[in-house]
Amino acid sequence: MTFTRNLFLAGAVLVASAGLAHAEMTATAVSDLNVRSGPGPQYPSVGVATRGSPAILDGCIQGSRWCRVDVNGMRGWVYAEYLQVEHQGSPMIVEQNQTVLGVPAVTYESTATVIPAEPQPAPGDELLGPVGAVETITPPDTVRTYIQTAPGQAVRLGGDVVVGAEVPASVTFQEIPDYQYRYVRINDRPVLVDPGTRRIVYVYD
């Protein structure tokens, strides 16, 4: 009887330990990304998590692309496609692998009125493509000056405007004199783009 009881207790401890480990899932930011106060681009950004930052992943909203994390001293919501988790020795993007990774489901409740932080894409707008690796750049001040004097026309795209995101082929870039990168305003955010890969290489504040 005692032996059986001890086995039961040992099993209970293992289950409890597994639950605690499950709740403390560690992820990595695959790109610079906005951490938002709620699960949607309409919520204000509470800060930016830089590429490679470790994050504690609480879970994701079921049927949604948004996950709640603690990263770089911030607690908020980020896109699942910008989070990576090590699984059996291989990196896996959270968005496509929530079931395999066993990501917990979380909910979000708020009675507060949310004021959009910036103009938002409308339903049916094109989406930014998946995030990929790009070389980090620091544009010269002359580029910012040129953008301020020639702001160009803004485009509306779904998704977070972050370094590494791919811009759809339908978007036309604006040339910058004597500079290898191109310029476009996405959701009123000035960005620099590599015309060869169409990936964002720099986002202006």
pTM beyond cutoff 0.75: no
Most confident of 17-21, 22-26, 35-39, 177-181: 177-181
pLDDT in tens, 120-130: 555 556 788 88
Tracing tokens 């917990």 back to the chain, one arrives at: 104
Residue 121 phi/psi, 5-degree rounding, is -65, 150
Give CA–CA dist 27/84, Å, rounded: 5
C-alpha to C-alpha distances, 118 to 13, 92, 108, 157, 189, nearest whole angstrom: 48, 31, 21, 13, 9
Give CA–CA dist 73/29, Å, rounded: 14
188 and 99 in a single domain? The answer is no
Question: Is the pLDDT assigned to residue 11 strictly greater than 80?
Answer: no
146 and 92 in a single domain? The answer is no
90 and 39 in a single domain? The answer is yes
Q: Write down the pLDDT at residue 125.
A: 64
Give CA–CA dist 28/31, Å, rounded: 9
40 and 92 in a single domain? The answer is yes
Q: Is residue 135 part of a domain?
A: no
71 and 151 in a single domain? The answer is no
154 and 93 in a single domain? The answer is no
Q: Is residue 94 part of a domain?
A: yes
12 and 72 in a single domain? The answer is yes
Q: For the chain, how many structural domains are there in total?
A: 2
Q: Write down the pLDDT at residue 122.
A: 53
Domain boundary among 106, 126, 157: 106
Question: Is the pLDDT assigned to residue 99 strictly greater than 60?
Answer: yes
Q: Write down the pLDDT at residue 129.
A: 83
Mean pLDDT in the chain?
79
**Cβ count within 10 A of residue 49:** 26
Q: What's the domain range around 181?
A: 141-203
CB 174 within 8 A of CB 150: yes
Q: Write down the pLDDT at residue 166.
A: 92
Q: Is residue 111 part of a domain?
A: no
pLDDT in tens, 159-199: 888 888 899 999 999 999 999 999 999 988 899 999 999 99
Most confident of 23-32, 127-136, 186-195: 186-195
More confident: 21 or 51: 51
Q: Write down the pLDDT at residue 174.
A: 93
The encoded tokens of residue 83 equal 């989070």
**Cβ count within 10 A of residue 176:** 17
Q: Write down the pLDDT at residue 173.
A: 95
